[in-house]
Amino acid sequence: MVFNQTALFDVLREVAFTGITSTYVQVGTTFTVNPRILALHNTTDVDLYISTDAVNNMLRIASGSFKTYDLETNRSATGDNLFPIGTGIWIKETSEGAPTKGNFWVEAVYSTNA
């Protein structure tokens, strides 16, 4: 069987609990690929806000949990549904305060022509 696309893992992006503050902190670098799948992991002991513009709280991820966003699962036949190149992930504390342990990290999967 011949495949015209190959799935690849992007570089891991991570912030230790000591780097998480009440202002937005970027998790690694912006994407240089179009991620199809994002996994957000929060092993800290507090909830965190997630943003892609470092201004607005867009998601809240509970302490000790993760979220996975698979944009390709139910895509339409008319095209791909991807995170744009240049997208960054920023995090900050919620009103619970600063974490005292753990990390936050982002895993991404993208595809390319084989």
The dihedral sign for the CA sequence 30, 102, 24, 90: positive
pLDDT tens digit sequence for 57-105: 999 999 999 999 998 776 655 566 778 899 999 999 999 999 999 999 9
The pLDDT, as a whole number, for residue 78 is 57
Domain ranges for the chain: 14-72+82-113
CB distance 62 to 49 below 8 Å: no
The pLDDT, as a whole number, for residue 55 is 97
pTM recorded for the entire structure: 0.88
Q: What is the CATH number of domain 14-72+82-113?
A: 2.60.120
The pLDDT, as a whole number, for residue 6 is 85
